Amino acid sequence: MASLTAKQAGLASCHVCKLLTPLAQLAARRGHCPRCGSLVHQRKTDSLNRCWALIIASAILYLPANLLPMTHTAHLGKIQEDTIISGVIYFLSTGSWPIALVIFIASIFVPLLKLFILAALLISVHRGSRWRPVDRTRLYRMTELVGRWSMVDIYVVTILVALVKLGALADIEAGAAAPFFALMVVLTMFAAMAFDPRLIWDQMEDPRDSSNE
């Protein structure tokens, strides 16, 4: 058992209780784990297609999320509409660059980076690439970890909307971008969950591909 994967050994690992079950025994139980009763799959079902669909949908939502205004601010009679980028520029101009950096990284940079990384991983799996599997797995873990932080802008808007109700002095309302942005973040999180990193490693075991690269 020096370097054998569960798949090569004809086993499927339960993602809930980690029990390894031979495929034949699993089929007899209609795919349910004999230890905990969860449905067991050798690989996430339809991982590549689901991941592509979610990435494409989020990429489309990324446009309205960044082009439409996120907030409407009325302050001392002036009405101002802010997109995410104009908010970042505003913070830079007023000198609070740490906040500008947080918003830029969480709302603009991370979602885009995540879409590119996931797309690159998917393409590498489609092409049967054997290039640096450890690093590709690390990249995947990173996308899973950082995705949640993109929600920060939605929460900022929630807090501002609730807090700033000072009558004629100041008022903040959420803009049209908010639902697009929220949905985009949720879909990228689902996309990361849909990807199965074991597909990266399946290429390493396939002896037919040893001549490639």
44-73: contacts with other proteins (CB under 8 A): none
Q: Which lies closer to other proteins via its Cβ, residue 42 or residue 59?
A: 42
Min CB(144)–other proteins separation in Å: 8
Task: Work out how close the CB of 119 gets to other proteins at its nearest, in angstroms, rounded to a whole number.
Answer: 20
DSSP assignment string, 133-185: HHHHHHHHHHHHHHGGGGGHHHHHHHHHHHH-B-TTSEEEEE-THHHHHHHHH
Taking the C-alpha atoms of residue 110 and residue 198, their distance in angstroms, rounded to an integer, is: 24
CB of 10 to other proteins, least distance (A): 11
- CA 102 vs. chain centroid, Å, equals 18
Task: List the interface residues with other proteins, window 121-150 (CB under 8 A).
Answer: 133-134, 137-138, 140-141, 148-149
Q: Which of residues 64 and 179 has its CB atom nearest to other proteins in the complex? A: 179
Measured distance CA(85)–CA(83) in Å, rounded: 5
| Interface with other proteins (CB under 8 A), residue from 40, 115, 156, 191 | 156
Give Cα 91 to chain centroid, integer Å.
27
Tell which positions 80-119 bind other proteins, by CB under 8 A: 91, 94, 96, 99, 102-103, 106
- 55 vs 71, beta carbon nearer other proteins: 71
State which of residues 49, 80, 93, 158 lies at the interface with other proteins (CB under 8 A). 158
CB 3 within 8 A of CB 204: no
Of 20 and 53, CB closest to other proteins: 20
DSSP secondary structure of 84-132: HHHHHHHHHHTT-HHHHHHHIIIIIIHHHHHHHHHHHHHHHHHTT--S-
Looking at 11-148, which runs of residues are DSSP E strands?
11-13, 20-22, 71-75, 78-82
Question: Is the CB of 54 or the CB of 106 nearer to other proteins?
Answer: 106
Paired tokens of 85:
């980028």
Q: Which of 88, 111, 197, 203 binds other proteins (CB under 8 A)?
A: 197
Q: Which of 27, 37, 67, 127 binds other proteins (CB under 8 A)?
A: 37
16-35 residues in contact with other proteins (CB under 8 A) are: 16-22, 34-35
- Position among 28, 128, 165, 213 found at the interface with other proteins (CB under 8 A): 165
Quote the CA–CA distance of 31 and 74 in Å, as a whole number: 58
Question: According to the binding rule CB under 8 A, does residue 36 interact with other proteins?
Answer: yes
